[in-house]
Amino acid sequence: MRTQGRKVTPKVVDGRVQKKNSHEHTFNYWDHDPGYPVIDRQRPGDGHRHLLTKADIQGFIDILPDWAELSKGLKAIVLAESGDSYGWHYEGVIGICAWERDLWQ
């Protein structure tokens, strides 16, 4: 049993109630250029799986001889959820879609 009540109200400083949570905008690769390509993994969806891992993509990038030149304008590589294609691209973001779990097409 608790002996002290839980604090549920925000703090008051100089007569003003302070915000309880952070309300600042969090940047992501869709609306902000991170300066380097981000490797992001989304959930594959029911009955699907990713054939690649983030480590596989990083390993492939490491063996490319001219990666600094090739990655200009690239914001992110996304292991995306399943779709009606094997992948997509949109304004500096490349998506690699998840495949069905049984892998036979």
Domain that holds residue 82: 33-100
- Tell me whether residue 7 is in a domain: no
27-42 exposure pattern, b = at least 16 Cβ within 10 A, e = fewer: eebeeeeeeebebbbe
Q: Do the Cβ atoms of 7 and 44 come closer than 8 Å?
A: no
* Per-residue pLDDT, 25: 77
- Tell me whether residue 95 is in a domain: yes
- Tell me whether residue 64 is in a domain: yes
- Tell me whether residue 42 is in a domain: yes
- Tell me whether residue 26 is in a domain: no
Whether the pLDDT of residue 88 is over 90: the answer is yes
- Tell me whether residue 25 is in a domain: no
- Tell me whether residue 50 is in a domain: yes
- Phi, psi at residue 91, to the nearest 5°? 40, 60
**pLDDT for 26-61, tens place per residue?**
778 888 888 888 999 999 989 899 999 999 999 999
Residues 78-97 have a mean pLDDT of 90
How many domains are there within the chain? 1
As a whole number, the mean pLDDT across the chain is: 85
C-alpha 54/C-alpha 81 separation (Å) is 14
- Tell me whether residue 2 is in a domain: no
**pLDDT for 7-23, tens place per residue?**
666 678 888 887 777 77
* Per-residue pLDDT, 54: 93
